[in-house]
């Protein structure tokens, strides 16, 4: 008998028991599973108690917020629109026109402050000399602070500024605080996001 024949015969003898074991394992996996019974106890089982009422439902996150998720989404959308309008201006646009775009979204106290700031002669002269115009676009908004009377949203703005020297891109991050006004919101404050809440 050659060495090759001997190896083949040994492999055939080993394959028989391995094949049988494989069939046995496959057959066991087809059997239905029975739930495991608990181990016998040395103590008697407690008496059955009447069915209790279902556990009280745990309130979802929306139930503990001072405003509904839909109302917070509306606040974030308004904060984004306001911040984009705030960072959009032109040397050709009079301050009254810029303010007119902000007025419907603004609380009266902030509107008065914006009116005072919009007409600063030095800023207007600089914009006119360089023929500057800016277009702001809100790119992100996240809730920064939330209380029963207000929500502060950090809005990230992408701003494109054109002038006689060309076009530049700038980023801005503004903290916009809103307060409820009827069923909607009004912008109560705006400041650089790095300034913190004030």
- Per-residue pLDDT of 116-140, as tens digits, reads 999 899 999 999 999 999 999 999 9
Q: Look at 149 and 19; give whichever has higher pLDDT.
A: 149
For residues 38-57, give the mean pLDDT. 50
Say how far residue 41 (Cα) sits from the centre of its chain: 52
State the pLDDT confidence band at 195, using cuts at 50, 70 and 90. confident
Q: Are the beta carbons of 78 and 185 closer than 8 angstroms? A: yes
Structure tokens belonging to residue 106: 């603004």
Distance CA 156, CA 84 (A): 9
What are the φ and ψ backbone dihedral angles of 182, each rounded to 5 degrees?
A: 65, -130
Determine if residue 196 is left, alpha or beta; phi over 0 gives left, psi from -120 to 50 gives alpha, anything else beta.
left
**Of 105, 195, 108, which Cα lies nearest the Cα of 144?**
195
Q: Are the beta carbons of 181 and 97 closer than 8 angstroms? A: no
Half-sphere exposure of residue 120, counting CA atoms within 13 Å on the CB side?
8
Question: What DSSP state is assigned to residue 106?
Answer: B
Whether residue 56 has pLDDT greater than 60? no
Burial of 24 (0-12, 13-18, 19+ CB in 10 A): exposed
Cβ partners under 8 Å of residue 128, min gap 6: 91
Domain residue extents for the chain: 68-195
Q: Are the beta carbons of 139 and 87 closer than 8 angstroms? A: no
Q: Are the beta carbons of 159 and 136 closer than 8 angstroms? A: yes
Q: Look at 41 and 142; give whichever has higher pLDDT.
A: 142
CATH 3.10.450.540 correct for 68-195: yes
């Amino acid at each position: 008998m050659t060495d090759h024949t001997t190896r083949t015969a040994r492999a055939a003898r080993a394959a028989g028991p391995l094949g049988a074991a494989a069939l046995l394992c496959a057959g066991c996996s087809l059997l239905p599973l029975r739930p495991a019974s608990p181990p016998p106890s040395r103590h008697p089982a407690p008496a059955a108690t009447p069915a209790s009422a279902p556990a009280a439902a745990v309130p979802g996150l929306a139930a503990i917020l001072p405003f509904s998720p839909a109302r917070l989404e509306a606040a974030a959308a308004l904060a984004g629109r306001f911040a984009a309008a705030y960072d959009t201006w032109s040397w050709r646009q009079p301050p009254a026109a810029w303010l007119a775009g902000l007025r419907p979204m603004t609380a009266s106290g902030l509107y008065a402050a914006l009116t005072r700031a919009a007409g600063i002669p030095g800023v207007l002269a600089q914009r006119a000399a360089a023929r500057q115009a800016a277009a702001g676009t809100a790119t992100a908004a996240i809730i920064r602070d939330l209380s029963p009377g207000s929500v502060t949203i950090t809005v990230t703005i992408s701003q494109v500024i054109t002038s006689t020297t060309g076009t530049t891109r700038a980023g801005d991050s503004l903290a916009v605080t809103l307060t409820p006004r009827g069923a909607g919101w009004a912008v109560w404050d705006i400041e650089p996001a790095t300034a913190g809440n004030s």
